[in-house]
Amino acid sequence: MGDNRSAKIDAVEKRHEESYELLRQARAAAKKKSKYNSADTRKKMYEECKRRTGFEPKKEQLDIAESMLLGLDSTVMAGTGWGKTLPFALPLFVRQRKIVIVISPLNVLEADQAKKFSSWGLRAVALNSESKEGMTAMLEEVKKNKFDIIVVGPKLCLDPEGAFRPLLSDPSFSKRILAVIVDEAHCIAQWGDSFRPEYSQLEALRGFMGIDVPVHATSATLTPTSLEKTRRALHIREDRSFHLNLGNDRPNIAWEVRKMNAAKSDLESLDFVLGSEPLDEVERFRRSIIFFDDVMLSLQAVQRLRDKVPKHLKSRICAYNSQRGPVSKRLVFKLFQRGDIDILIATEAAGMGFDAADIWLVIQFMVPSSLEVWLQRAGRAGRGKDICARAILLVQPTVFQEKGKMTRQPGDTVKYMKEIGEDLRDWITAPESECRRTVADRVFNNPPREDGAISGDRDLSVRTSENEIPVDTGDVSHSADTTDAQAIAVESAGEVAAELRDWRSVVPVTRSPEDVKEAVSLLRNWRTRTWLSEHSLARFGEAGIFPDAILQSLAARTTYLSVDDLASLGWSSSMTWIDVGQTMFLKLKRGGRQRRGG
């Protein structure tokens, strides 16, 4: 065991030194050719990063960025939440009028990354299937060098009939490309053979874009086999590329395996996520994501959990999956990020890049396809520095049930009712003497820690299944808008009608700007909470209740008070919650008149 450990440390250190020697050689060549100054360049990236983002970049992040600036291909493996996205932007802080292309696997992830880059003062755009209507205009802006970062899906990069692919072959455009980044590069091995075949075709990029454009591949879950496949697909030579393996261990996540009583029918195994406190006393739940591989089963889980909680908590449990419409997915993503949703029942659509800092718990309902998938999903937890998170894998009984146990001969291979990846089975069944972190270290070739210890030496794994999840009760911080929306009571239709009788004769026709702003805020929050509690499983988003134009009209005028008034705006519905809207307007008017002394 000691010899194996020493050999592993030696191999990791040797590859690390080879990468940094290559980086030193590239610096020297650039200095000789164009008087490149590494120290000045790194200092400028550091200072610009701190000014624009508020972050102080790590040494390794600057190393990755510098390798791209110097034209080196690179491969990076680091744990979820380490900060692999920041190096995408760092080179652009010192190299204006250059373009970085980020190839990303999911539309919602692309949009979120573009938003993040924009907040750092870069001109960023996401191009994908959801932007078809405005694609022509966007591409014209791209041709005019109006963007610094283009976040795009692999299909658009490869489709010869599409509008973006020919642009990559245009010499006047391609010479402005500083680097191409393949984010979540494990998708090449994980998806390339079947689910997303375009990932296996990314090797064509080097053909029509030029071999001199550096390619950077990054992931949290690249096994040695996946890394080799990724390099082969992207034409990255191991001996001529910068490689940084920081390992994917997450010391602030406690790992746990629980055996289920059944498989798909055992939805009650999720009840513990609601906690042990009386639900009437709970204001919100711990932030959690529960992953499923079956969309319909995930919707059943949403319904079951909602059925078990009082009305004020139903909207804090929501579904996120590929069957939702684009607007609906973006809405749920936004609401979860800002804390209006606590428990997200999700599929693979949220397995990568679903970035929220305060997720305390991740659960996987039944085993996924591989250890890589499980670690990616579990990695959504504990991204905040001060969170001690938990990742719980619920394993169905068939994973442990052996086939032909009574007739198997000595030496025969043991086969199970549920076949899963060997690495994942080793991780699940790791004996007490071997921490599950040690299994992950072996599978992903994780390096030793800085203090010399292999990451598996620090075992935070939890091997019991009786632990209850505590739930916060009492005072909980909410945004002012959320508090206002929750404070609006539903009055009976008779009470509403009685109070409406004389309003038209005593209130002004239009609101003051102050009241309009408040009205819009309250209406938006009422619309959001109505959608969450009544229609969150539907394909339409919250605008399906009230389009923004109608909502603005309602907020601006005080004389829209009835269903007939709404119909005059072009809105028609038989939904029963219209009384809630009328009640809201009464309370808005009361507040407005009181502030004006009326």
The 10s digit of each residue's pLDDT in 36-45 is 999 999 999 9
Lowest mean pLDDT segment, chosen from 234-248, 324-338, 504-518:
504-518
Final residue in a domain of this structure, among 247, 272, 304: 247
Q: What is the pLDDT of residues 243-281, one digit of tens each?
A: 999 999 988 899 999 999 988 889 999 999 998 888 988
What's the whole-number average pLDDT of the chain? 78
Higher pLDDT, 551 or 229: 229
Average the pLDDT over 87-92 and give the result: 96
Above 70 in pLDDT, residue 487?
no
Residue with more model confidence, 319 or 560? 319
H-type helices in 80-159, by residue range? 86-89, 107-119, 135-143, 154-158
Give me the sign of the Cα torsion angle 467, 468, 469, 473.
Answer: negative
CA dist 282 and 312 (Å) reads 9
**Nearest 10 degrees: Cα torsion 349, 257, 221, 154:** -10
Greatest mean pLDDT among 300-314, 341-355, 555-569: 300-314
Considering 107-121, 341-355, 491-505, 584-598, the range whose residues carry the highest mean pLDDT is 107-121
d(CA 323, CA 292): 13
Range with top average pLDDT, 57-66, 205-214, 514-523 = 57-66
Query: Cβ distance 414 to 408 under 8 Å?
Result: yes
Residue range 397-434, pLDDT digits in tens: 999 988 877 777 787 778 888 999 999 999 999 886 67
Q: Which of 247, 267, 301 is the last residue of a domain?
A: 247
315 shares its domain with 413: yes
pLDDT on residue 365: 97
Q: Is the pLDDT of residue 474 over 90?
A: no
Nearest alpha-carbon partner for 348 in 303, 296, 295 = 295
Residue-range definition of the domain harbouring residue 542: 480-595
Mean pLDDT of 82-97: 94
- When comparing pLDDT for 5 and 254, which is higher? 254
Alpha-carbon 502 to chain mean position: 50
Name the DSSP letter for residue 71. Answer: T
Q: Is residue 468 part of a domain?
A: no
Mean pLDDT, residues 393-400: 94
Q: Does any domain span residue 475?
A: no
> What digits encode the pLDDT tens for the residues 156-190?
888 877 778 888 888 888 889 999 999 988 888 87
pLDDT digits (tens, 9 = 90+) for 43-77: 999 999 999 999 899 999 999 999 999 999 999 99
**Average confidence (pLDDT) over 359-375:** 94
> What is the Cα–Cα distance from 563 to 45, expressed in whole angstroms?
58
- Residue 55 included in any domain: yes
Query: Residue 239 above 70 pLDDT?
Result: yes
| Mean pLDDT value of segment 146-163 | 86
Asked whether residue 243 falls in the same domain as residue 264, the answer is no
Q: CA–CA separation, 233 vs 124, rounded Å?
A: 27
**At residue 318, what is the residue type?**
C
Clarify whether residues 208 and 333 are in a common domain: no
Q: Please give the pLDDT value at position 560.
A: 55
Residues 442 and 484 in one domain: no
Q: Are 140 and 113 in contact (CB under 8 A)?
A: no
Q: Which residue has the higher pLDDT, 442 or 10?
A: 442
Categorize the per-residue pLDDT at 5 as very low, low, confident or very high, splitting at 50, 70 and 90: low
**pLDDT higher at 549 or 492:** 549
User: Is the per-residue pLDDT at 375 higher than 90?
Assistant: yes
Is residue 1 scored above 70 in pLDDT? no
**Total number of domains in the chain:** 3
Report percent pLDDT > 90 for the chain: 40
Let me know whether 295 and 417 are in one domain: yes
Report residue 440 as tokens: 């992950």
Residues 320, 184 within the same domain: no
pTM assigned to the model? 0.73
296 and 213 belong to one structural domain: no
Residues in the chain: 598
> What pLDDT is recorded for position 80?
86
**Position 484 pLDDT exceeds 50:** no
Give yes or no: residues 259 and 114 share one domain. Answer: no
The more confident residue out of 549 and 120 is 120
Task: Please check whether residue 465 lies inside any domain of the structure.
Answer: no
Same-domain status, 330 and 198: no
CATH number where 36 lies: 3.40.50.300
User: What integer pLDDT is reported at residue 364 of this predicted model?
Assistant: 96
Same-domain pairing of 51 and 185: yes
Phi-psi region of 124 (alpha: psi -120 to 50; beta: other; left: phi over 0): beta
